[in-house]
Structure 1
Amino acid sequence: MKLEMICTGEEVLAGQIVDTNAAWVADTLMDHGIEMQQRMTVGDRLEDLIQAFQQRSQHADIILVNGGIGPTSDDMSSLAMAMAIGEPQVENKEWRQRLTQWFAKNQRPMPVNNLKQAMLPESAIMVDNPVGTACGFRVKLNRAWLFFTPGVPFELKRMVTDQFIPFIKNEFDLDKPVKVTKLLTIGGGESFLAEKLQDIHLPEGIELGYRSSMPYIEIKIFARGEKAIAHLDSVAAEINICLADLIVAKNQLSLAAELHQLLLDSGKTLAIAESCTGGMLSSQLVDFAGSSRYLVHSIVSYSNAAKVNLLGVDESIIDIHGAVSIETVEQMAEGARAVLDSDYALATSGIAGPDGGTDEKPVGTVAIALACREQIFSQILQLPARSRGLVRSLTCAVALDMLRRKLNKTAVLVNYPSYKKGN
């Protein structure tokens, strides 16, 4: 089975928005052992859409089309599909009724242009959208089924999960079962990781892939076929031994997701004091429901006055050692922990740039501390200073990793090949 995806929309094509839908679809399909062979983006132009549907339907078995089924004039996917197949659009009575009921239920008048969403190619089979007004549908053209989905992310995700994946599994005989294990790493570049793993023996049917999404490099272990899948755990274990301290999570999207679960399981509490990361650290944890069970407070102590007055940092410490120092960040962490007597506290301070660096402390210099009830762990690192955002996200990753290691009862401070130790 050959599966492709066509993403529509001028805003996507022009780079005005990042196409997170396509990334989510590919990742979700892979979790089900379904690989995507090709993806293309087409703007909101009728002729281009018609051409894309006609051409790709001669090569693919199934095509997921995302976007262009809304009520506005630039939503052209349904019309383009009808013209590509050479048939009229007809009103789907069931969906018109659903639209009428939806607007009545929400006590809103239905704009006339919403009726456009009930107009489908004549041979189309309706695909339910229980969380929105855009009607999904599928049509057969040449060798391919084209499966049309809304661009709104939560509507797309519901349709893919409830409709698209079951359709694939029911209609197509997948050549081989595919399983993927994902290992999240920090502190080493792609070339470094590849060199470290070059001598690992990969059984037939297993291959490695690398994906850079800073602050992480994700290693994907693809296993195709039952025999390969049987070796998947042993290959992952060998990679784990090879990379040791660089692997921070398995089958997780982020370090924050890994730490969130560890904190929930531990029953421990956490406080945070942030300077250079400016709330990014706590925000990553608050993204997850249930974080209130462990995150007691977070203080963005950006100025030196805030460090002194809110966290109790000794002003003379800042005068002597500077805001970006082991001495200051340790007092920040202990001050944050003491406020509500939390089990742990993380603190960050650094020079994110693009200005503010010195010869002694260049841009990318960060100090990070983890305060526990019994001791404080701290370090200064010189991080890659390619951008302000990168320095901040890398700082968060290291801070989260320090607490992850503490909860896992392993060494809190380790060497990251891509991050230099500071003084």
Structure 2
Amino acid sequence: MKIALISTGEEILAGDIVDTNSAWLAEQLHEHGLKLAWHVTVGDDMASLLDAFSLAAERSDFCIVNGGLGPTTDDLSAEAAATWLGEGMRELPEWRDKLEQYYAKLNRVMPASNIKQAMIPESAQMIDNPVGTACGFAIQHDNCQLMFTPGVPHEFKRMIHDQVIPTLLQHAQQQAPSLHRWLTIGLSESLLADLLDDLPLPSGCTLGYRSSQPTIEVKLSVPSDVSEEQLSTVKQGINQRLGGYVFVDAKLSLAAHIQQLMLARGVKLATAESCTGGMIADWLVHEAGSSAYFERGYVTYSNEAKQQDLAVPETVLAQYGAVSAEVAAAMACGASVNANTDFALATSGIAGPSGDTPNKPVGTVAFALKTPTGVYQQLLKLPNRGRTMIRKQAAAIALDMLRRYLTGVDVLADYSGVSEMKQEFIAN
């Protein structure tokens, strides 16, 4: 089944806004074993829209048209659809009532221009929009069904989830293949390929990789005719080959996985960050419910802050320098004591572009994990892919240390492209 997407809007073509809807839609379709055959973006003009509709009808079984359903004169999608079909427009009384009730609740008179949002082509079928003022609609041309949706992201996503995807799945000629995921950290795409490419797969199964540094996703697409026994064998083989580099075998973030592990244990965490500047804490609190285990986070950028807030001894700073495994360990211990937590993570490093020394180049980062049994500390040399990527990779490695401890995997790992300058465990 071929699915197309037409994105409309001069603001997209001009670069005024980023078309996030298309990327999100492609991802959602892929989740359900579907995919876009092609995607085109056109401006808000009649000729471009008519050309795009004709192209969609020639190439696709289904086409999602996104945008152009607003009340202003440059919102042309409904009018263009009627023109393309050679028919007029009709008003939806129920949608006009909804609009009038909406404005009445606001104690406002509905602008006359909003009536346009209750108008659809004569032969169209309405697609409900429960969270906005623009109704969607579907039309049929030859063997292609076109479904029109508003461009407002939260309205678009709701309609795709509730109505468009169910329609696509209902019309799929065969059961969509299932998709299985493994999220990894610490291995490059080439190393993952070396580990998995010779794995025997049942007919029709395919392996794919998606890099979203610092993590990489491994995806296994499985046709509906593959037996459960065959699938189990393949999944077992992938798990064995990837080992501790897999942090979750589902679509779940590293922070969300850590949250699950921490809540299951009923333990608390604090963070002490220098080069990552609060990034670890930000990732953790992005997950709803993190307050149940994440106690507090310190950002101690200067030596004075490390001493004052975390009680890092001045002698340790003077002897080893701020970017050292010893200072990171002292930061983690100080955070754990201050916050009264079971665990604490600490980072201190040189994210660049300056601040490096001959012995500690840009990308040198110290890590420490304070646990109930002792402190894991390491000094690593990360690849210099720019300041932002160094900070992201450092935050990911710190969280991975905690993840490894909680899952019983070696905490001090060998990461692809990363040099170990020092790694040790100091027991209590």
TM-score grouping bracket, smaller chain normalisation: over 0.9
Q: 1:80 to 1:214 in 2, by over 3 A?
A: farther
Q: Which has the larger radius of gyration?
A: 2
Q: Which amino acid in structure 2 is aligned with residue 410 of structure 1? A: V
SS in 2 for 1:37: strand
Q: 1:379 to 1:41 in 2, by over 3 A?
A: farther
In 2: Cα distance, 1:308 partner to 1:74 partner:
60
Deviation at 1:323, TM superposition (A): 1.7
CA contact (8 A) 1:181 1:232 kept: no
Aligned match of 1:42: 42
In 2: Cα distance, 1:138 partner to 1:81 partner:
10
In 1: Cα distance, 2:124 partner to 2:131 partner:
20
Deviation at 1:42, TM superposition (A): 2.8
In 2: Cα distance, 1:184 partner to 1:82 partner:
46
Identical aligned pairs, as a percentage? 48
In 2: Cα distance, 1:358 partner to 1:185 partner:
32
Task: Show CA shifts across 1:151-205 (max 9, x none).
Answer: 23322222112111222233x1432431001111122222221122221111101
Aligned match of 1:372: 371
Judge which range, 273-282 or 1-10, deviates more. Answer: 1-10
Task: Show CA shifts across 1:257-298 (max 9, x none).
Answer: 221222222221111112111222111121121111111111
1:76 is aligned to 2:76: yes
Aligned match of 1:134: 134
Deviation at 1:77, TM superposition (A): 2.3
Q: 1:12 to 1:373 in 2, by over 3 A?
A: farther
Q: 1:187 to 1:90 in 2, by over 3 A?
A: same
In 1: Cα distance, 2:83 partner to 2:129 partner:
24
Q: 1:107 to 1:122 in 2, by over 3 A?
A: same
Aligned match of 1:150: 150
Deviation at 1:228, TM superposition (A): 5.8
| Cα RMSD (Å) | 2.1
1:91 is aligned to 2:96: no
In 1: Cα distance, 2:103 partner to 2:419 partner:
59
Aligned match of 1:175: 174
Aligned match of 2:29: 29
CA contact (8 A) 2:125 2:138 kept: yes
In 1: Cα distance, 2:243 partner to 2:14 partner:
41
Q: Which amino acid in structure 1 is aligned with residue 113 of structure 2? A: N
Aligned match of 2:123: 123
In 1: Cα distance, 2:334 partner to 2:43 partner:
53
In 2: Cα distance, 1:46 partner to 1:382 partner:
56
Deviation at 1:377, TM superposition (A): 1.0
Aligned match of 2:382: 383
Aligned match of 2:314: 315
CA contact (8 A) 2:325 2:379 kept: yes
Aligned match of 2:326: 327
In 2: Cα distance, 1:176 partner to 1:167 partner:
13
Q: Which amino acid in structure 1 is aligned with residue 321 of structure 2? A: G
In 1: Cα distance, 2:354 partner to 2:80 partner:
51
Judge which range, 242-251 or 106-115, deviates more. Answer: 106-115
Aligned match of 1:299: 298
Q: 1:339 to 1:131 in 2, by over 3 A?
A: same
CA contact (8 A) 1:179 1:229 kept: no
Task: Show CA shifts across 1:229-277 (max 9, x none).
Answer: 6533322221221122322221124212221222222221111112111
In 2: Cα distance, 1:32 partner to 1:2 partner:
14
SS in 2 for 1:48: helix
Aligned match of 1:283: 282
Q: May I ask how many residue pairs the two structures share in their alignment?
A: 422
Aligned match of 2:166: 166
Deviation at 1:127, TM superposition (A): 0.9
Q: 1:85 to 1:379 in 2, by over 3 A?
A: farther
Alignment of 1:225-374 (within 5 A): 225-227=224-226, 231-374=230-373
Q: Which amino acid in structure 2 is aligned with residue 139 of structure 1? A: I
Deviation at 1:220, TM superposition (A): 0.7
In 2: Cα distance, 1:84 partner to 1:253 partner:
43
Deviation at 1:15, TM superposition (A): 4.8
Gaps of 5+ in 1: none
Q: 1:110 to 1:297 in 2, by over 3 A?
A: farther
SS in 2 for 1:278: coil
1:5 is aligned to 2:5: yes
In 1: Cα distance, 2:301 partner to 2:75 partner:
45
Gaps of 5+ in 2: 423-428
Q: Which amino acid in structure 2 is aligned with residue 371 of structure 1? A: K
Q: 1:135 to 1:307 in 2, by over 3 A?
A: same
SS in 2 for 1:226: coil
- TM-score if structure 1 supplies the norm length? 0.93
Judge which range, 244-253 or 395-404, deviates more. Answer: 244-253
Deviation at 1:3, TM superposition (A): 1.7
- TM-score if structure 2 supplies the norm length? 0.92
Aligned match of 1:202: 201
Q: 1:225 to 1:283 in 2, by over 3 A?
A: same
In 2: Cα distance, 1:66 partner to 1:176 partner:
26
Aligned match of 1:215: 214
CA contact (8 A) 1:402 1:412 kept: yes
In 2: Cα distance, 1:229 partner to 1:196 partner:
23
CA contact (8 A) 1:204 1:228 kept: no
